[in-house]
Structure 1
Amino acid sequence: MLGAIQLGVLAACVVVLVPMGMAGYHLSRNKMLFFSGALFITLAVGVHLTPYFPSVSDFVSTVSSVVVIDNRRSCISILHDVVWDVTHSPNFDPVNNNSVNYDKAWGWTSSSRVSACGFQKLGRSDVSDLLNGSWVVVAGDSQARFVALSLLNLILDSDGIESVKRDLFKRHSDYQIVVGEIGMRLDFIWAPYTTNLTDLVVGFKRNRNYPDVLVMGSGLWHMLHFTNASDYGASLRELRDSVVSLLPFSPELGMDGPVEGSVPVRSPHLFWIGIPTLINSMLNTEAKRERMTDTMRVLYDRELRKSKLLRQSGGPLLMLDIESLSWNCGVRCTVDGMHYDVPVYDAAVQIMLNALLIESHQKL
């Protein structure tokens, strides 16, 4: 409710400006010019008086906040709007026509919506600034290893990345590196099943030690060794509950306060690595071709959506959609129908980094 002082000021404005307008209407021969001046004066007075009207100030601030949030959500939703250019490499060999015979390049579409968001491919300096002092955890199966490699490839020089490749791709092993120049630590955790990811999250909570960025993904091993979509869905729901317990706010209810049982810490940035497009005819074992079918892939996707693990279904994790990226790159971007060439994972990492920029309100 407005106080007496505010009402007095408002009444004074009415008393002064209304007669002025009436006089101007009858006396001015150029009514448009007069009322342009009157409008300017009114706006000027309004701007100076706005701080004295809390309800108006709050309304303006609220509208501005809503616009910013809507813009962020809109940009997040179109981060995967990319196009691919796959062409013959200079050393194209028609006899052994596989993925190494093709050069792959990608970029965001040129639509007005995408252009307005200002997405950009970040270089080493930009990524170093963005992740300076951060703890990044990438957990999952071989898809997660490729994501970790693409991220490190943006930070390390050529000599450093060769050493990383030898250690990072040791079969079924964890890996850790600290990039001293920027104080960034990256942990890769071998976690092929969703239950492994749940154990990892529970460990973070138990130790009260949380990464700044947590990138996770699973599904391929479960599809191959269990081939049970409903069981996969149950494990995803258990993971979601564990992740939500880490957060100071509820992603589903949109609450402005702590969730019961949560810890008072800043929320990590959370990402989910999606299952890639599976090209059944190219899979390299009979077991894979029998169990990792298009039908099973659809069932696993459905369970992921139903689990409410992902942001678009009310959950806490933002999807890195390897399926759409690999599908659009196509059959010329894979040698085994499951693992894709480096540019696919590079695109996923750039999408993740741009999401981090948006969510942390940063610009480069």
Structure 2
Amino acid sequence: MVMAMMLGAVLLGVAAACAVVLVSRGMTGSHLSRNHVLFFSGAIFITLVVCVHLTPSFSSVSDYVTSVSTVAVFDRRSPCLNLVNRISWAVTPNNSLINFNATKNLSSSFDYYERHWDWPKTQKVKACRIRKFSKPDASRFLNGSWVVIAGDSQARLFTLSLLNLILGPESQRMDSARTALFKRHSNYSISVNEIGMKLDFVWAPYVLNLTHLVADFKDKKSYPGVMVMGAGLWHMLHLNNASDYESVLRTLKGSVVSLFPFSTELASKSPHLFWLGFPVLINGMLNSHDKRQQMSDAVWHAYDRALSESRLLRQTGGPLDLLDIPALTWNCGAHCTYDGMHYDIAIYEAALQIMLNFIIKSRQRH
């Protein structure tokens, strides 16, 4: 930011000098005396110099400089990264369950559908080598990593999808992990010694919890290599104030930026930072009167705008890449959720694969 202001001052100084020369020449052409020319030239020069020094005091100019500076630091996206979130869904009836339901005890139509996803088979996607990664691939990419996933129930489901991929959904370790992970409102940690990966899930339903978590990392001078965050549903339900939500997101952004200063030795470690977006809320399916009243479509859109205007996301000049849960849930549709808020694990498996592609593409850029 300081460098941007200095550059602006230099440019305005050059403009001032040009103005002095041109006006002086014009006055000379008008046959004014030498004393008059010197007087008017000096007055113009002094005025412009004062403007140069006062420029940082004007909020609009200062905000603009900050905006340009922020984008220059964080906006490193490539065309391939812009394609990673573009998932297509195929949601089809599960005929075997529909035809044989004597012992299934299915609770809703949610159970009758199969959900499959993939990237569109376009030349651009093929050229970027965007693909689903297997357990060996994911284990190799996350080898030796410390992964932190923090947030609300969406983050917990994302954690489950990561463990499913690394441990295998049918493994005995996965059974015990699933039980421990879903203890109500609790943290969870696991070490996967085979690949040297440590995974921490931190229950953080409010953005303020996330800010405190980031501050704790800074105090301990201990930083995860991959961090996935997402919170806002509790704020929407219990506080219902989109302006306040934007404010706490801006505070979180400042904490994240101070935690990972890209100009230091931490840059070589390339921390990968992600934000879990809001799921689409289907109001008529929400399971309480308070949720249906507080979490309306209008409120959802206000909170989504607050996220954008907070400039937390890399696409708006911030430090975090978006895992586009809104697009995933919208495209999958009502058959992918049983309560209008929590979606099938396939959503979070897709988000996990998006994250892995982001990590690989980011590493290829350095």
For this structure pair, what is the TM-score category when the shorter chain's length is used for normalisation? 0.7 to 0.9
The CA distance in 2 between the partners of 1:242 and 1:188, in whole Å, is 19
1:91 counterpart letter in structure 2: L
The counterpart of 1:127, out of the listed 120, 128, 138, is 138
Structure 1 length normalisation: TM-score? 0.75
- Does residue 233 of structure 1 match 2:246? yes
Question: How many correspondences in the alignment?
Answer: 284
2:183 aligned counterpart, secondary structure: coil
2:353 counterpart letter in structure 1: Q
Residue 156 of structure 1: how far off its partner (Å): 0.4
1:76 counterpart letter in structure 2: L
Residue 267 of structure 1: how far off its partner (Å): 4.1
Residue 273 of structure 1: how far off its partner (Å): 0.3
Structure having the higher helix fraction is 2
The CA distance in 1 between the partners of 2:278 and 2:234, in whole Å, is 11
The CA distance in 2 between the partners of 1:96 and 1:160, in whole Å, is 28
Aligned-pair Cα RMSD in Å: 2.1
1:242-284 deviation digits (Å, cap 9, x = unpaired)? 00002232xxxxxxx45xxx97773421000001000000000
The CA distance in 1 between the partners of 2:181 and 2:267, in whole Å, is 33
Structure 2 length normalisation: TM-score? 0.74
Tell me, yes or no, if the aligned pair for 2:108 and 2:338 is still in contact at 8 Å. no
Which residue in 2 is equivalent to 1:152? 163
Residues 1:201 and 1:338: Cα distance change in structure 2 (over 3 Å) = same
Residue 160 of structure 1: how far off its partner (Å): 1.6
Alignment gaps of 5+ in structure 1: 1-69, 250-256
2:78 aligned counterpart, secondary structure: helix
The CA distance in 2 between the partners of 1:200 and 1:81, in whole Å, is 31
Residue 110 of structure 1: how far off its partner (Å): 1.4
- Does residue 197 of structure 1 match 2:202? no
The CA distance in 1 between the partners of 2:319 and 2:78, in whole Å, is 14
The CA distance in 2 between the partners of 1:114 and 1:265, in whole Å, is 28
1:152-203 deviation digits (Å, cap 9, x = unpaired)? 1101032221111100010000000000111100000000000000000001
What fraction of aligned residue pairs are identical, expressed as a percent? 52
Which residue in 2 is equivalent to 1:100? 111
The CA distance in 1 between the partners of 2:290 and 2:160, in whole Å, is 28
Residues 1:339 and 1:351: Cα distance change in structure 2 (over 3 Å) = same
Task: After TM superposition, list the pairs within 5 Å mapping 1:82-97 onto structure 2.
Answer: 82-89=87-94, 90-92=96-98, 97=108
Residues 1:241 and 1:71: Cα distance change in structure 2 (over 3 Å) = closer
Tell me, yes or no, if the aligned pair for 2:88 and 2:117 is still in contact at 8 Å. yes
The counterpart of 2:81, out of the listed 70, 73, 76, is 76
Which residue in 2 is equivalent to 1:57? none
2:364 counterpart letter in structure 1: H
The CA distance in 1 between the partners of 2:112 and 2:140, in whole Å, is 35
Alignment gaps of 5+ in structure 2: 1-74
Tell me, yes or no, if the aligned pair for 1:106 and 1:347 is still in contact at 8 Å. yes
Which residue in 1 is equivalent to 2:179? 166
1:287 counterpart letter in structure 2: D
